Structures are given as structure tokens and as C-alpha cells.
């Protein structure tokens, strides 16, 4: 297998993942609208090969999701930035926020990657 075959497989998997995420979005949008949710805000954080969604807030504050719907929402809110930045949870990781305007069906992601930087200096015959 050469690099072009590997790249083709990776691209195919990425396209399949985007289609799956699109279907999940449609389903989740229906669930949220049925529950009366108009906006979702969540933060996520990943590092050291793991991560999760934290601090999910829905508006209006009285809107309720059952436990299964809440889990599916958190999974979806993880999958959105992960599709944009696959592997961000590796090593130093990454974090960010997802904001979903349910009425407009508009999702905004603010993502930051963490990294370690090194400056190297050689000093000869000082």
C-alpha cells in the first residue's frame, strides 16, 4: 500500500464520518426542538488520550432532556469538534466551546490546540 492509497482511505473515512455526523445532527435537532431547547452551549476538553464534554447548558433553562437524550447530546457535542480536529485529545490535547443556535441550526466551534514548544540554542567558542 502506498501513500496515495492510505490518503484515499483516510479521506473516505472522513467523508463517511461527516455523513454520519450530518444524520446525527438532524436527529438531535428534532429532539432539541421537541424539548423546547433554543440554544446549547458546552465546553469540551481532551488530553492524555481521553476527554469529555463539560458544562452543557441549554436554553431556556427550564427545557429538560432525559438521561439518554442528554448522553446523545454530549456525544454529538464531542463529535462536532472531533470531526474538525481529529485526534486533538492526544498528548497535550485541545479544548474549546460549542454553541448551537437550535432555532437557526447554526453551530459555532471555538477550538484551541495545546502543544509543547522548545527553543534550542547552540553557542560555540563563547
CB 73 within 8 A of CB 56: yes
**Contacts of residue 112, Cβ cutoff 8 Å, sequence gap at least 6:** 94, 95, 96
Domain limits of the chain? 3-113
| Ramachandran class of 7: left when φ > 0, alpha when ψ lies in -120 to 50, beta otherwise | alpha
Q: Please spell the DSSP secondary structure of 80-91, one letter per residue.
A: HHHHHSTTTTST
pLDDT recorded at residue 90: 87
Question: What global pTM score does this model have?
Answer: 0.83
> How does pLDDT run across 47-79, given as a tens digit for each residue?
998 899 988 999 998 898 999 999 999 999 999
Integer Cα distance of 54 and 88 in angstroms: 16
Residue 97 has pLDDT above 90, yes or no: yes
Amino acid at each position: 500500500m502506498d501513500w496515495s492509497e492510505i490518503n484515499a482511505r483516510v479521506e473516505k473515512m472522513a467523508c463517511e464520518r461527516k455523513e454520519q455526523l450530518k444524520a446525527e445532527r438532524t436527529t438531535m435537532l428534532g429532539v432539541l426542538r421537541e424539548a423546547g431547547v433554543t440554544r446549547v452551549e458546552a465546553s469540551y476538553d481532551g488530553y492524555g488520550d481521553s476527554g469529555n464534554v463539560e458544562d452543557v447548558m441549554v436554553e431556556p433553562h427550564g427545557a429538560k432532556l432525559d438521561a439518554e437524550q442528554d448522553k446523545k447530546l454530549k456525544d454529538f457535542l464531542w463529535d462536532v469538534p472531533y470531526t474538525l480536529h481529529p485526534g486533538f485529545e492526544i498528548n497535550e490535547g485541545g479544548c474549546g466551546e460549542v454553541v448551537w443556535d437550535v432555532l437557526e441550526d447554526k453551530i459555532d466551534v471555538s477550538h484551541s490546540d495545546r502543544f509543547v514548544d522548545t527553543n534550542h540554542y547552540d553557542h560555540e567558542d563563547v
